[in-house]
Structure 1
Amino acid sequence: MLTLVKRSLLYPEGMDALDFRVGSAKLVSYSPARDLPWRVVFEDEGAAGYCYACDGDRATVEDDFDVTVMDAMLVYNTDAMRSQENGDRERLVTIEWSADGLRAALRLDGVPQVLLDFELRESYCRSNFPNFMDDGRNGWRSNDHRWNEDAMLRFEKAALQAR
């Protein structure tokens, strides 16, 4: 499993990035607000690429299940990505955080794919998958991940103002 975090002058504070090829990748990004437990994990285990909203205050593993995961969203299906023209080329995934460390956006090759709001406990993704019945376990809205362009525009506007 390839895990690499790039932090350089090319990437501003509050952004992590990974160059990878579809099929094996992992990027873990922590909220820039050190007092907050939030983290975003992008993981491609071979069949698909997923994004996870995680709470670092929770126990790490319980019965072989990562209980830090509060929500999960499909970013892509590996076979579909590979079937595209130049599908085996190197990709870039970035995770950018809001200045307050409460929101994060995952982009694939510069295109927003996932937006996470840890304050409101809701997520949006272009695939709108998977959707789960809300069980009240963690207060996270996970029954609808439909993309919200207005929420993304608010995130980008706030990010520009913070710079």
Structure 2
Amino acid sequence: MKTIVQYPISGEAFGARGCSSCSCSPCDCNPCQCGSSQLPSYPDWRVSGFVISNGVIDTVDVSQLVILGLSRPVNPNQHATWQEIILISDTATPQQINTILAAFERVLHSMPAEVVAPPSAHRTVYQTHLVYTSHGDAATLQVDFTFRNAKMVRAGDGIISWQPWTYTGPMAIRGQFDTQR
């Protein structure tokens, strides 16, 4: 995997999409053309993220933090309008949040390739419960993004409405990064 950041950190890039007709487990195709149809299949959601196993950025320890982009259609089952938010571990301090956003926000994109609209330049950021576990070449993500436990850190452009999203399931490992060497 090509190095995406220039800081002394190590971790993993991951992603997945909620495809109902795909045979991949998990699906991380972008665009997805799996199944019987040759037309792209819109997902219900798409996630792209990074987990930092170990590292310090500009004197701030960011070890064990997760940052991810989450894209979903504004109205379920209607794929004309999508929106994207950023979720960060609820254990991160304000200083860690600012540091991890500065390092990763510009390379964090979760909008599906099938969606024509470009991602928002200034996305809303929330802290919520995120647990990422890697087991060799398999990984799982647990997200509990509900309004009772999520905290808005920064308002963004163009958020129309956002529905709670809980997920516990597989993630595709896109690659490892280790710039500490």
Identify whether the pair has TM-score above 0.5, normalized to the shorter chain. Answer: no
Q: Could you tell me the TM-score, scaled by structure 1's length?
A: 0.34
- Structure number with higher helix proportion: 1
TM-score by length of 2: 0.31
Larger Rg: 2
